[in-house]
Amino acid sequence: MSDASLAGVVAQLSDVRRRLATAAVDVTRARAEISQADSRYAEAAGDSRHPGIRQALAHVRWASANALTIARFLEQARHHFTCYLERIVPGAAQDDASVGLPDGELLLVQVRERSDLRSGMDAFIGRTFRNIENYQDSGRSTGEITGNTIRIVRAPRRPNGGKYIGTASPAVVPTPHHIDVPEAAGHLVVLGLLVGIAAQRLSHVTRREIARFRRRGHQKRTD
Amino acid sequence: MTVHDVKATIRSGNTFAEESSKMLRQVKDRLTETAILAHETLHNSHDQDVDAGLQLLVRVERTLDETIEILREAVGHAETFTRDLG
């Protein structure tokens, strides 16, 4: 077999594997719809022993079990083709998340992660300001502020069980930080500087925008 | 819950069942194409993994057909119940 025809086999088998992965995801989605049907029928059935609704419930549960079997078969078939591909051209089967999930799924995971990161940052900002207030009463809170800063910067919150797509390091298990008063004061100074820079930037942008609007208004009047 | 509510809930269940059935039919159509591509690519291979993979595809197609039929029957049974509600 020539290299060109082997390359063709690799390309086509890779396509088959990708299609099987997509099919498995689609079947899982269909199963989620079946679960919705199940819960609607169960809600409607209540305590009724009517054979119609009981049969409907039994059937959707059967369909759900079948959908699970189909998704498993698809994954197994994909695995067999992957093994074959690896045997004929070692390294040809990149068995990673990007092959296992269709583009749409990757996108969803990334959107979810961004959303989680955003809410994590919002929560962090809220906590930081609360902590600064508390610091006036107790120097102990400074350690928490710094601890939160480190935790948020190092490990943004991510969905449970979701695959992480990105270049950041894996989640760091939070460890208690013991911080003494001079160190805490140093962190506060840094924090103050950051807030100052942010305020300066904001005022600069605001001034620029106001000037732009004024110019535009002036232009309209002269036109 | 009133009879009207029960009927509406069943209708909603039927919609989900029909939607899932539609999704499975689409999977079946695409899988048929995939199986043809796999058979063409792996024609004349006597590898164990190839045989196992191709056999699984046949089973998937069969189970998909069966599941679509089961869902159709589920909707039929639910409609019988709705009719009996009056």
Segment B26-80, tens digit of pLDDT: 999 999 999 999 999 999 999 999 999 999 999 999 999 999 999 999 999 999 9
What are A84-132's pLDDT values in tens digits?
999 999 988 865 444 455 554 544 444 455 445 544 544 544 454 455 4
Q: Which domain, by its residues, includes B63?
A: 3-85
pLDDT of residue A199: 77
What ipTM does this complex have?
Answer: 0.95
Same domain, A52 and A137: no
**The pLDDT of residue A212:** 78
Model confidence at A23: pLDDT above 60: yes
- Please tell me if residue A49 touches chain B, with a CB cutoff of 8 Å: no
The reply to whether A70 and A56 lie within a common domain is yes
B20–A66: do the CB atoms touch at under 8 Å?
no
Distance of CA A14 to the CA centre of its chain: 26
Say how many CB pairs under 8 Å bridge A and B: 156
The answer to whether residues A13 and A62 belong to one domain is yes
Residues A173, A215 share a domain: no
Q: Which residue has the higher pLDDT, A141 or A16?
A: A16
Interval A19-32 mean pLDDT: 97
Which residues constitute the domain of residue A65? Answer: 3-96
**Count of domains forming chain B:** 1
Q: pTM of the predicted model, to two decimals?
A: 0.59
Secondary structure of chain B in the HEC alphabet? CCHHHHHHHHHHHHHHHHHHHHHHHHHHHHHHHHHHHHHHHCCCCCCHHHHHHHHHHHHHHHHHHHHHHHHHHHHHHHHHHHHHHC
Among all residues of chain B, which has the CA nearest to that of A8?
B41
A74 to chain B: which residues are within 8 Å by CB? 56, 60
B13, B40, B63 ranked by CB distance to A40: nearest:
B13
Mean pLDDT of A41-53: 95
Answer yes or no: is pLDDT of A216 > 90: no
B23: closest CA of chain A, how far (Å):
6
